[in-house]
Chain A
């Protein structure tokens, strides 16, 4: 029965969106938001119910069941990880709808349901992408996610930066999507199939890989890595996350970026994981190299930011790099650790964004320096923010800490990388908490703020002097006295329309619930056990095809005990959290220069769409090199 109902996880939000749009003009805001919440929650409940079922649910849409291992239809596959991701996305969507309950200033005239409807479509896109077992269908839902994402990012059209961020998001993601489609077409030419399991089987029928399979892998993975914001495909992410409405950031950072990582893992496991696909060494090299570079870039850039939402966005780049490393190890333990990490990270990061939204609503700014000490009277929010920062840093017993510990055990060099990235990103968040909520340290000296006034222009400092507009013949980096490029957060408009006095209960309770969720991931042993079994099944290339095409049920592997806290893991988590605290304290008293030494890296994040496209293409070249090595 669960098998048949699987499509409803995707379809219920779509129906909700249709109702909201159809009745838009006549529907009061309260009704619209209630309908949206109900649909999102129903879908979440369905996903959870399917997750509680005994085995992998396989649903052939239109009842086109396979005969002799082939079918003309599309299959939805509810294995543990896919369903888990759909459930996570749905739960976060419910959190977003609760958080934005009466949050926005005013819906567009006559379109009270527009925002909730877009959020529901976003949910449908993510759930469809998580559940589909068909490569082209995955592309369709990838694009649905993308289209809704651009619209939501640009939601605040009254301001200059959201439209720019949404444009960058739109261009880079669409380009990535088309690269994926080129790859799908190559696979179709070779195998004559579109279903992941079918393609995998056809490839395996002629073992040994060649240039076509490699090219298909590179192109398909490009779009997914753009979504996952892996360096050098990541440039759109900080631009989009810094400007999107805060409730949207919860989903973008908490789960959408992770769906990219999931897509890479899924495509590897089902299509390219067999003898006819890409050798494991090649895949591992691609994912680990890109993951390490992303993790370091994200962490360094995160530490540099003063725009709090942009800071959190870069920390997402860093953590997604860690997820890529965890997945790229291609071991069940690495994958299951990453799953726990993703769950914990979703809670922690979404809670941090939720707190930032409260700051913005109350104080009209998300600029670390401008807000210095102004959060003293909402210390409760400060406590939540600091806890979120500690969770990012991997403090036991948060789920992030458990996931980090499980992955770290896979190789001797991993603790250094994971510790450093966790400490830098967590430390940056703690630094913000100390400055804003405690008023610790000097109020940052900032010549621009005194010059700034109420004008819109100074929101980027120094960027306008970029010589590329002059002619491009000279060397830009030699200009000694040039100021660093920087995005400040001082001119954001409060999204509630007016400044609020007390943090509204729905917003606070969402932040608390999200943190509690992050804590639960690290404290409920059953979850870790289930994830371990799910990861084992996920990587079973032949088992997946058998379950989908031959109807041979693959349940969880009984007796495969989950990973749990070890002494060394807990100590490493405590260490990275302590390092984060030390870094934050040192930064607050001025011992650690927060800027200056990384200007070249910062200058690469130029906000220029042409640059981003050029880097995306360079990324495809890099992927080819790493794959074919």
Chain B
């Protein structure tokens, strides 16, 4: 289609959708209302399960199956990225050059790294108590490691990041969630049932399986993000196209 034809089709579609959606909004319950039946039930259930963070209770207990799917989506996306960003024939790997980093940045990164790592682990471990959990904490842990790349250079990052190990952890995290779910079946209850003792409300050991599932997800997310970023970084820094490289070399020779 021409650009103009596309705009016509698009405008018609946008107007139709806008009219439909606006009409729907006028029939919505007023913003900020008090009627939230599912929400109220979820809060009750979370308190009964002695999980202070209701959102974690919904994610890892009441609707834990959603989270299994969600974790699997991340798992699949990482696997997909590994496949899509593989080194193809005609590409080769070069060793990235060390880069110089301003000393202030370096000092800051080195100082913040352990702190960020600790915060990440804290967020994973306290998912049942305070905002956070496996997903959020896992991302913090993974980005903390990449402070090495920002503060030192790629080779320093590579030393703390054996990708094979993180791929293993990725699989183990996903598998652990699945197996923890099956424990519910083995205990004679349903899949992903919260079968552990619920502990004391508002302490680290509360919520039954919630902290364990959080840990599994945290492990999976942290290693998934590491592997994901490793693939993109490798594309940017390590992998060169032999054809393009040859062309560049030829041009350089011509200039000389």
Residue numbers of A with Cβ under 8 A of B are 4-5, 7-8, 11, 14-15, 17-25, 59-64, 70, 72-74, 76, 108-111, 114-115, 117-118, 121, 124-125, 128, 134, 136-137, 140-141, 143-144, 147-148, 150-152, 154-155, 157-158, 182, 186, 188-190, 192-194, 210-212, 214-216, 218, 467-468, 472-474, 476, 603-604, 606, 608, 610-611, 613-622, 624-625
B168 to chain A, nearest CB (A): 5
> Which A residues lie within 8 Å of B193 (CB)?
62-63
Give bound CA distance, A140 to B67, whole Å: 9
- Say whether chain A's binding surface is mostly helix, strand, loop, or mixed: helix
Instruction: Say yes or no: is B157 at the interface (Cβ < 8 Å to chain A).
Output: no
Residue of A nearest to B71 (CB): A14
Contact status A7-B191, CB under 8 Å: yes
Is residue B36 within 8 Å, beta carbon to beta carbon, of the partner chain? yes
Q: A167 to nearest B CB, angstroms?
A: 11
Contacts of B80 in A (CB 8 A): 118, 147-148, 150-152
When the two chains form their complex, are residues A140 and B28 in contact, meaning their CB atoms are under 8 A apart?
A: no
What are 30 A-B contacts defined by CB distance under 8 Å?
A7-B65, A8-B185, A17-B72, A19-B175, A23-B168, A59-B190, A61-B64, A63-B189, A64-B62, A70-B37, A72-B58, A73-B63, A108-B83, A114-B79, A121-B72, A121-B76, A125-B72, A148-B76, A151-B79, A192-B38, A193-B37, A193-B38, A211-B24, A215-B21, A476-B2, A615-B13, A617-B13, A620-B17, A621-B16, A625-B16
B6: interface (CB < 8 Å): yes
| Nearest chain B residue, comparing its CB with the CB of A141 | B69
Of the residues B28, B77, B86, contact of A157 by C-beta under 8 Å = B86
- Asked if B238 CB lies within 8 Å of chain A CBs, one says no
B236 within 8 A of A: no
Q: Are A212 and B2 in contact (CB under 8 A)?
A: no
Which residue of B has the minimal Cβ distance to A3?
A: B190
Cross-chain contact B190 with A140 (CB below 8 angstroms): no
For the complex, what is the distance from the CA of A164 to the CA of B194, rounded to whole Å? 45
Kindly state whether residue B1 has any CB partner on chain A within 8 Å.
yes
Q: Which residues of A contact B64 (CB under 8 A)?
A: 61-62
Take A7-B181, A25-B167, A72-B38 as given contacts and tell me if A62 and B175 are in contact as well, using a CB distance cutoff of 8 Å: no
B13, B82, B172, B190: the one within 8 Å of A620 (CB): B13
B65 touches A137 (CB 8 A): yes
Docked-complex contact A140 and B66, CB < 8 angstroms: yes
B191 interface neighbour in A25, A62, A616, Cβ under 8 Å:
A62
Closest Cβ–Cβ distance, residue A455 to chain B (whole Å)? 14
Determine whether the beta carbon of B89 is less than 8 Å from that of A61.
no
**B159 on the A face (CB < 8 A):** no
Min CB gap A96→B, angstroms? 16
Q: A60-B190, A614-B10 are in contact. Are A11 and B178 (CB under 8 A)?
A: yes
Using an 8 Å CB-CB cutoff, how does the interface string of B18-52 with A read, 1 for contact, 0 for none? 01110110111100000111110110010000000
For the A-B complex with A121-B76, A614-B6, A618-B13 known, give 19 more contacts whose Cβ atoms are closer than 8 Å.
Answer: A18-B171, A18-B172, A19-B175, A20-B171, A21-B171, A22-B170, A22-B175, A62-B184, A72-B62, A137-B63, A158-B90, A190-B29, A211-B26, A472-B3, A476-B2, A614-B1, A617-B9, A622-B16, A624-B17
Chain A residue, CB-CB nearest to B28: A189
The chain A residue sitting closest to B173, CB to CB, is A18
- Measured CA separation A100–B41 after assembly (Å): 48
Chain B: residues with CB nearer than 8 A to chain A?
1-7, 9-10, 12-17, 19-21, 23-24, 26-29, 35-39, 41-42, 45, 58, 61-66, 68-70, 72-73, 75-77, 79-90, 164, 167-168, 170-172, 174-175, 178-179, 181-182, 184-185, 189-194
In Å, the complex CA distance between A144 and B76 comes to 8
The CA of A603 and the CA of B6, in the complex, are separated in Å by 13
Say yes or no: A621-B84 contact (C-beta < 8 A), given A151-B76, A468-B2.
no
- Which residues of A sit under 8 angstroms from B61, Cβ to Cβ? 62
Q: Which of B1, B15, B72, B82 contacts A621 (CB 8 A)?
A: B15
Query: When chains A and B are docked, how far (Å) is the Cα of A433 from the Cα of B193?
Result: 54
Which residues of chain A come closer than 8 Å to B29, judged between CB atoms?
189-190
Knowing A118-B80, A468-B1, A468-B2, the reply to whether A621 touches B181 (Cβ < 8 A) is: no
| Residues of chain B contacted by A619 (CB below 8 angstroms) | 13
Listed from nearest, the 8 A-B pairs whose CB atoms lie closest are: A621-B16, A22-B171, A151-B80, A617-B13, A215-B24, A472-B3, A18-B175, A211-B23
Bound form: Cα–Cα A608–B7 in Å: 13
Cβ–Cβ < 8 Å partners of A606 in chain B = 1
Q: Nearest residue in A to B46 (C-beta to C-beta)? A: A72
Q: Please report the C-alpha to C-alpha distance between residue A549 and residue B106 in the assembled complex, in whole angstroms.
A: 59
Given A144-B76, A150-B80, decide whether A109 and B185 contact each other with a Cβ distance below 8 A. no
- Whether B63 lies near A59 (C-beta < 8 A) is no
Task: With A14-B72, A63-B193, A194-B38 as known contacts, state yes or no: A154 contacts B84, CB within 8 Å.
Answer: yes
**Beta-carbon contact of A467 and B16 below 8 Å:** no
Beta-carbon contact of A70 and B41 below 8 Å: yes
What is the bound-complex CA distance between A61 and B61, given in angstroms?
9
| Known A4-B191, A60-B190; contact A618-B16, beta-carbon cutoff 8 A | yes
A491 to chain B, nearest CB (A): 16
Docked-complex contact B42 and A17, CB < 8 angstroms:
no
Cβ–Cβ contact A74 & B1, under 8 A: no
> How many angstroms between the C-alpha atoms of A14 and B70 in the bound complex?
12
Residues of chain A with a CB closer than 8 A to B14's CB: 617
Q: Assess the A11–B174 pair: CB atoms within 8 A.
A: no
CB < 8 Å neighbour of B77 from A14, A19, A151, A604: A151
| A62 pairs with B190, CB closer than 8 A | yes
Tell me the complex Cα distance, A23–B164, Å.
10
> Considering the chains assembled together, what is the distance between the CA atoms of A212 and B3 in angstroms?
33
Q: How far is the CA of A147 from the CA of B1 in the complex (A)?
A: 28
Complex Cα distance, B153 from A151, in Å, reads 30
B79 touches A61 (CB 8 A): no
Query: In the complex, what's the smallest C-beta–C-beta distance from A374 to chain B, in angstroms?
Result: 26
Are B37 and A14 in contact (CB-based, < 8 A)?
A: no
Question: A192 touching B35 by the CB < 8 A rule?
Answer: yes
Q: Which residue of B lies closest to A5 (CB)?
A: B185
Using Cβ atoms and an 8 Å threshold, which residues of chain A touch B84? 151, 154-155, 157
Contacts of B191 in A (CB 8 A): 4, 7-8, 11, 59, 61-62
Residues in B with CB closer than 8 Å to A144 are: 69, 72-73, 76
With most chain B CB atoms within 10 A of its CB, the pick from A61, A150, A193 is A61
Docked complex Cα distance between A70 and B7 (Å): 46
Q: How far is A130 from B45 in the complex, measured between Cα atoms in Å? A: 28
Given contacts A7-B181, A72-B62, contact A15 B27 (CB under 8 A): no
